[in-house]
Amino acid sequence: MTGTELPLAGVRVIEMTHMVMGPTCGMILAQLGAEIIKVEPPVGDKTRSLGGMGTSFFPLFNRGKKSVVLDFEKAEDRDMMHRLLASADVFLENFRDGQLEKQGLGTEQLRRKYPDLIVAGHKGFLSGPYEHRPALDEVVQMMSGLAAMTGTRDKPQRVGSSANDIMGGMFGVISILAALYQKRGGVTGGADIRIGLFENCLFLVAQHMVEYEMTGNKPRSMPEREHAWPIYDIFDTAGGERIFIGVVTEGHWQSFCREFGLKEFSEDPTLSNTTERIMARGRILPRVAEEIKRWDVTELSAKLDRLNICFSPINRPEDLLSDPHVLRPGGLVNNINADGKPFRVPALPVQWNGSNLGEGLTVPVLGADTAAVRAELENQNSPISKVVRRPA
């Protein structure tokens, strides 16, 4: 797809973010066609130099953006920042409250100067007693109870990705799209959007909070939970590999028992419904495990696929780079890192008119677009107050 075919073509976003949540928001907007101008300090975004588990942060979450370096110690760079904002539809930031005010870029300051600007601030917390606190993905997972639900209260375990940061960026995108839609509907003025990392995680555990609210029963963590189905477990196979199998409907139960020779269960009158089978998991699972262990994982997968029963091998991230569905045309897109080296990344998890999004994005070299953007703004040859913003 070309940029002009994308839904956000013509929308300009000025981004001053770092780490994961804010950059995720900009990265998704870029793949939807928006022009993202990432403003970096002279030393660059700190995630450019991260190693270890942070190696992927900058290239993954900053693809498809332009990089402009501004030194706010210089008057001309402060002036350029305001020219950028005057030309923009959206301003993204994820600094602690009070930091941008020192640069004249606080939300209220921007609202007075650019009344039509959409300002999206990605924060640790929404307004309230904790709004002053910094936050990290792991911090809010511990606070919200997600870590205790993933592990246990005694051994809390964070989710194995930056799930909340990424989801927070997605909520930023949703909010920005709503603000753009409102403007295109004729509503004047911008929008002041605040996205909270903690509240994002709270949204994830709401199902457990509401369970307690409705029943008075404390939700059990995933390792300790009561199962809702008789077979919903990980099993060993003949080759030593493991597989997850979920038998969740009456039809699945009957076909599973028939296919794997478990007539003693399908014909047992004391196992006539799901509740009775759940109560009998203690005798059902050892027998199922015995049968599953007779099968090679490849043959077993083909059989379960044919039966339309939910299953999955126990993969690691590296395994997905050879998965046939991931490798289907458009499943992985080819991008170019700032050092010129190619890398593959999963496409945005939507298809737009049958096409995948994200092919051919590049990670910007620090400051690569500074001169071009500066020249564009100077060619307008007008004071900041008269820079004409493009319609959203």
335-364 confidence digits (pLDDT tens): 999 999 999 999 999 998 888 999 999 999
Domain span including residue 298:
227-318
Query: What's the whole-number mean pLDDT along residues 263-276?
Result: 93
How sure is the predictor about 40, in pLDDT bands with cuts at 50, 70 and 90?
very high
DSSP-assigned states of every residue in 245-293:
EEE-SHHHHHHHHHHTT-HHHHT-GGGSSHHHHHHTHHHHHHHHHHHHT
How sure is the predictor about 392, in pLDDT bands with cuts at 50, 70 and 90?
very low
Domain boundary among 268, 298, 318: 318
pLDDT at residue 38, rounded to an integer: 98
**Edge-first strand listing for the sheet containing 310-313:** 231-236, 242-247, 310-313
Q: CA 91 → CA 36, 74, 156, 289, distances in Å?
A: 10, 21, 36, 55
Residues 80 and 170 in one domain: yes
- Quote the pTM value: 0.89
How sure is the predictor about 222, in pLDDT bands with cuts at 50, 70 and 90?
confident
Residues 20 and 64 in one domain: yes
Strand partners, 243: 235, 313
Percentage of the chain surpassing pLDDT 70?
Answer: 96
CB 347 within 8 A of CB 331: yes
Average pLDDT, the chain: 92
pLDDT at residue 388, rounded to an integer: 35
CB 245 within 8 A of CB 235: yes
Least confident interval from 17-26, 36-45, 222-231: 222-231
Residues 113 and 242 in one domain: no
pLDDT 10s digits, 62-98: 999 999 999 999 999 999 999 999 999 999 999 998 8
pLDDT at residue 151, rounded to an integer: 92
Domain boundary among 265, 298, 318: 318
Residues 314 and 340 in one domain: no
CB 168 within 8 A of CB 195: yes
In a domain, 221, yes or no: no
Residues 333 and 312 in one domain: no
Report how many domains make up the chain: 2
Domain boundary among 270, 295, 318: 318
Percentage of the chain surpassing pLDDT 90?
Answer: 83
Those residues with Cβ within 8 angstroms of residue 238's Cβ, 6 or more apart along the chain or in another chain = 293, 294, 295, 296, 297
In a domain, 310, yes or no: yes
pLDDT 10s digits, 282-311: 999 999 999 999 999 999 999 999 999 999
Residue 4 above 70 pLDDT? Answer: no
Residues 55 and 148 in one domain: yes
Residue 182 above 60 pLDDT? Answer: yes
pLDDT at residue 385, rounded to an integer: 35
In a domain, 391, yes or no: no
How sure is the predictor about 184, in pLDDT bands with cuts at 50, 70 and 90?
confident
Residues 340 and 292 in one domain: no
In a domain, 212, yes or no: no
In a domain, 353, yes or no: yes
In a domain, 198, yes or no: yes
Query: What's the whole-number mean pLDDT along residues 131-143?
Result: 93
Residues 33 and 123 in one domain: yes
Residue 193 above 60 pLDDT? Answer: yes
Residues 116 and 241 in one domain: no
How sure is the predictor about 254, in pLDDT bands with cuts at 50, 70 and 90?
very high
Least confident interval from 28-32, 185-189, 276-280: 185-189
Chain-centroid distance of CA 216 in Å reads: 32
Residues 185 and 246 in one domain: no
The CATH number of the domain holding residue 148 is 3.40.50.10540
In a domain, 222, yes or no: no
Residues 45 and 117 in one domain: yes
The CATH number of the domain holding residue 247 is 3.30.1540.10
Residues 76 and 34 in one domain: yes
Q: What is the Cα–Cα distance from 42 to 367, expressed in whole angstroms?
A: 8
pLDDT at residue 226, rounded to an integer: 74
pLDDT at residue 8, rounded to an integer: 95
In a domain, 392, yes or no: no
How sure is the predictor about 153, in pLDDT bands with cuts at 50, 70 and 90?
confident
Residue 230 above 50 pLDDT? Answer: yes
